[in-house]
Amino acid sequence: MVHMNDNALRTVEARIREQAAAYCESDNVPGFVAGVYQAGEQIIVAHGVANVATGAPMLDDTGFLFGSVTKVLTTTLVLQQVERGLLDLDAPVVKYLPEFALTAPGAADKILVRHLVSHTNGIDADLFFPDAKGRDALKTYVDGLASGCGTLFEPGEQLSYSNGGMIVAGRLLEVVTGLPFHDLLARDIYGPVGMKDSCTSAEQAILRGTAVGHFPDPETMAPKPTNRFTLPDTWGPAGGTPIGTIADLLAFGRTHLAGGVSPSGTRVLSAESTALMRQVSYDMDSPNTPPIGLGWVLYPFGDTTVLAMSGASPGGVSLLCVVPEHDLVFAAFGNTPGAIMLQDQLLRWLLTEHLGVRIPTLITEVAQDVDLTPYVGTYRSNQLRVDVSVVEGQLEERMTYEPADASQERIFTEFAGGATAAPPQRYVPIRPGLFAPADYPLEVFDGYLRLLLVSYHDVRDGQARFRNGGGRLTRRA
């Protein structure tokens, strides 16, 4: 247990205030809110505005969309049902959800409950956005998988960040508990953890102060409010709809820090299940993809492991980090996608300056003479195409969004702030199979932004089968 004086956290508070103000000014981030808990003390800092259209200030208790941080909440719910004997991690999903199917006959039958929450399920549904509301939204999602989504790999054979897996897990929870996902979240997480300002809908969020996301205006680069607040209800368990505050996220992080006991003393999860969530369930052994537990991504910063999950929402980004070795929780939200850079700066400052963690350099140099031919080709996943070629001795990637239908195109376009085509990106080799975006200083990749590195995997007959960007796989077409 780390004992600290109140003074140390005051220094942290001043530093966050200073860095947030400087970053928000220079990088057009309208508003930012962050909090740190350590050894019984807690601070929250807010800066700027929650919504540029209204000028409402960002406050300590302003609500925001959790985005994918929700995945750790969903995983916690799954483990609770395992403890209650209603689910078995090693049982096939179809045991509980016989209607679960994918386009390839029999493919869904091999997926275990464990695969859903460890991102090793292979469900190819990363951009599958069926639009449905209300009680049957998750059922609609699962029904749609059978006709619209296949598999990227055999369950357990690779790791690929999986929205689809978490949504299927959410539907599984509804079936075994008889409760809608949102009601279960409120009853078994929000209540016992003490997340008193958390909810799951725009209708509830509007009753209190809530931030909205922003995107840079293509002409002026000034932040403009998003025209979509949440993703559809079909994406609830993956992070589409839950909304809350920094204090609420810190309370959830503290519950995991304390072996499953909430700040009020309520047991939310057993010590065994809490420990299981932070055990490595898959490691790709590639710097751009940290090992994964159940729900948590396990970021190695030297000898210190940071349990983390970040969450994109339309025009916003949240982050929750738990550092068990230092009894620390860090949570943050910024209401434009670029705020991830500020979150990364703050996390690295907390680790190095505040906690004295030595972060080794992840990438020391660029390699020469790497044969680029195994990586050239076209890679695909759900509604996404990546064309890889060699240009002037570097890899060049062109990403194309290939919408399945008009409804999904509309939702994805709003989620992405209107831009669905990225300019081509050049990459320089670090070593065979690992590439860094050109023109980036290499030290950028020591922190959370190691996700910007791209890797290629499973080279057979001189060709890589998979491309990994941001923890997500695309497969050679």
* Residues forming a β-bridge with 304: 301
Nearest residue to 140 (alpha-carbon basis) of 4, 18, 234, 76: 234
Q: Which residue is listed with tokens 């960040």?
A: 161
Return the pLDDT at 4.
55
Confidence of residue 5 (pLDDT cuts 50, 70, 90): low
C-alpha distances (whole Å) from 340 to each of 29, 171, 245, 274, 436 are 10, 30, 17, 27, 18
If you average pLDDT over residues 101-130, what whole number do you get? 96
pLDDT per residue as tens digits for the range 250-260: 999 999 999 99
Active centre residues (catalytic):
68
Q: Which residue is listed with tokens 């195109």?
A: 409
pLDDT per residue as tens digits for the range 69-98: 999 999 999 999 999 999 999 999 999 999
pLDDT per residue as tens digits for the range 155-164: 999 999 999 9
Q: Which residues of the chain form CATH 3.40.710.10? A: 1-360
Average pLDDT, the chain: 95
Check whether 278 has a pLDDT greater than 70.
Answer: yes
Distance of alpha carbon 280 from alpha carbon 300, whole angstroms: 12
In 3-state terms, what secondary structure has residue 403? coil
C-alpha distances (whole Å) from 82 to each of 78, 176, 273 are 6, 11, 9
Q: Which residues of the chain form CATH 2.40.128? A: 373-476
Distance of alpha carbon 309 from alpha carbon 320, whole angstroms: 6
* Cβ atoms of 123 and 102 closer than 8 Å: yes
pLDDT per residue as tens digits for the range 396-440: 999 999 999 999 999 898 888 887 777 999 999 999 999 999 989
pLDDT per residue as tens digits for the range 24-70: 998 889 999 999 999 999 999 999 999 999 999 999 999 999 999 99
Topology of domain 1-360 in CATH is Beta-lactamase (3.40.710)
Distance of alpha carbon 282 from alpha carbon 159, whole angstroms: 7
Q: What is the dihedral of CA 89, 108, 405, 336, to 10 degrees?
A: 20
Confidence of residue 2 (pLDDT cuts 50, 70, 90): very low
Distance of alpha carbon 16 from alpha carbon 44, whole angstroms: 9
Return the pLDDT at 54.
95
If you average pLDDT over residues 257-278, what whole number do you get? 98
- What percent of the chain stands above pLDDT 70? 99
Return the pLDDT at 421.
74
* 139, amino acid identity: K
For the structural domain made of 373-476, what CATH number should be given?
A: 2.40.128
- 111 phi-psi bin (left φ>0, alpha ψ -120 to 50, beta other): beta
Q: How far is CA 280 from the centre of its chain?
A: 17
